[in-house]
Every structure is written in structure tokens, then in C-alpha cells.
Structure 1
């Protein structure tokens, strides 16, 4: 089972849901809703868009339960100075990927969402190499991502961090994979 990641860069924290989040639970729900309902943030993945604040609360509850059940592990990207949510990284293990996709082999998948105002600020370029190192430390070396082929920025970040284009995933998305040496 994936151990939660706790990473820090100069201005960001990557962390799972922590006890401290209980003291700002309603605020966090609002931040999740703002992120996952923002049209520009979800331009390339509109199927993930939330329409109501109550959906954000259900999303958060499911994320916490899934992490404790050994399914996907959601990590929050928080600004260190304000504590505000700036993005989300979801790490999906092979067993869960197998429930949704038909592939020859099942790696761990990484999905990430950033507030629109964080684009171009090297958030994922600084975090993704650290996430990869932390996963490698847990002996997770088969890592992949699926990206809408019109999302040039996400493709560029993945390639900069060592992912290679492998093949079309479906009619809209491409499959990128990183094979790391632990």
C-alpha cells in the first residue's frame, strides 16, 4: 500500500489530508470546489468538473476513505505561507487502474490539478521530480500519466520530468510513462 507523501519545496507543501485539515474543513471544501469547478482549470478534463459545493464535500470524504482503504491517495498542494490549496495530486495504484482501463501492464498513475493562476509558475516542474523520488523510495518505479493531447503544458512538464510519450490512450488522451530505477 502506498505510504502518503509529505514533501516540501521553497513555497509549497505536498501532503495528504491531515488532522490539521479538520480545523479548516469547510474552508478546504470551498477550496476544493473552487479548484474542481473552475472552467479554465478543468478545460482539458471537463468530466471531473464539480457543479455544487456538496459534491466537493463528497469528493473529500471519498478521497479520505479511499486513502485508508488502500485505493488512490490524494495529496494536496498547499501554499506554505497562506496554507491555501493550490492544487491536487492523485496517485492511483495498479489495482484501481485495472478497474477502469484495459492495458497490457498496470503502472501507478499520477493525475494533477492546479489552480489556473498557478500555471507557468513551475509548481509541477518542482514537485513532480520529488514525487517520483518519493515513489521510487517506496519501490514504485512504474509510473504513468494520461494527458489530453491538447494540453501542451502538462505534456511538457511530464517530458521535462522524464516521462516519455508511449501511445494514444484513447480518442482524446495520450499515455506517458516513466520507468525509474529505484
Structure 2
């Protein structure tokens, strides 16, 4: 299965999948991934995503590359246009993979997103998510959902501003948001 990729250029930030240029900056990219997935603010609602060292970040990145080529998920990077640095990660998970982990009536594509703590309050996802949804829809993806920690009100608001609707409790700690077709 080929998962569509998202390529967006906005005034301050860009979204792109791992590409050839990223191989040239593999070490720096691994460090930037580590900075995001070891950042206390980033991990406040997702502590299970914590990376402990740079080696973990390299393994995470290698896994993301392999998973993309195997159709398991598509990791995208949010980079600052002014610095070229990674400020966030978006993961697109196809229905077949969601089916392996969740018990639902219907299996959409799932979006996950994480931003480095310093990016908090900059409306990065508020500005990017509508364009991401538009890109996915133009690639034929109509059903999109996200699971959010119930206490992460900011993420819930970002989703709602982009047209996602709270569906129900996903589990004891998380809510399921879905985008209507």
C-alpha cells in the first residue's frame, strides 16, 4: 500500500516526508527528533513516545523510513523555513495498521502530531492542519481521525478548528476526533 505524502510550503513552516536531502543531514535530523521526543512539554500528554538518547532517535528514524516503504505509516517533518530546523512531526497511519491496534466500527487514516515545546502557542498546527487535510482529501483520503489525551485541550481545539468533531471516548484517557467526509 502506498500512503500519500504531504508536501506544504507556508510562510513560516514547511511539511514534507523524509527525502533525499534528509539523508545528507541524518545526524542533525536524529538530534532534532531527539530534542522533540525528549522534550518535557512535548511529552506531557504522550510520555510513552519518550526517547532516551540519540541512538533511540536514530532507531526511531530508521523505523520511520522502513515503515514508510512498507506502507505502515508516513512520518512527515515540520520545519522552520527561517532556520531549517525540525519543530514538529506528523504521522499518518493507514486503516490497515490502525486495524491491528484498535477495535473500531470504521477504520480511518489516523493523524498524530507532536511539536517541540518551544513551538507552543505559535498556532503552527492551527495554520497547517487545514492544508494537511486538504492535501489528504485531494489524494482520495476521506476518513481522517485523531486520538487525543482528554486533558490536552489545546490539541482538541486545533482539531475542532480544522473541522474534526469529537466522536466519543477512545479509551479511559483519550478521545476520538473524526473529520466528516
**TM-score normalised by L of structure 1:** 0.97
- Structure 2 match to 1:36: 37
Aligned mates of 1:166, 1:177 — CA distance in 2 = 7
Query: C-alpha distance in 1, partners of 2:23/2:68?
Result: 16
Q: CA deviation at 1:15?
A: 0.3
| 1: CA distance, partners of 2:51 / 2:137 | 32
Deviation at 1:81, TM superposition (A): 1.7
Contact 2:166 2:175 in 1 (8 A): yes
Counterpart of 2:13 in structure 1 is: 12
Match of 1:106 in 2: 107
Quick check: 1:150 aligned with 2:117? no
Structure 1 unaligned spans of 5+: none
Number of aligned residue pairs: 180
Whether contact under 8 Å (1:2, 1:138) holds in the other structure is: no
* Secondary structure in 2 matching 1:176: strand
Name the CA distance, whole Å, in 1 between partners of 2:60 and 2:128.
23
1:130 aligns with 2:138: no
C-alpha RMSD over aligned residues = 0.8
Equivalent residue, structure 1, for 2:171: 170
The one-character-per-residue Cα deviations of 1:116-138 (angstroms, maximum 9, x if unpaired) are 11111110011100110010001
Aligned residue runs from structure 1 range 42-53, under 5 A = 42-53=43-54
State the TM-score, normalizing by the size of structure 2: 0.97
Match of 2:141 in 1: 140
Runs of 4+ in 1 over 4 A off after TM superposition: none
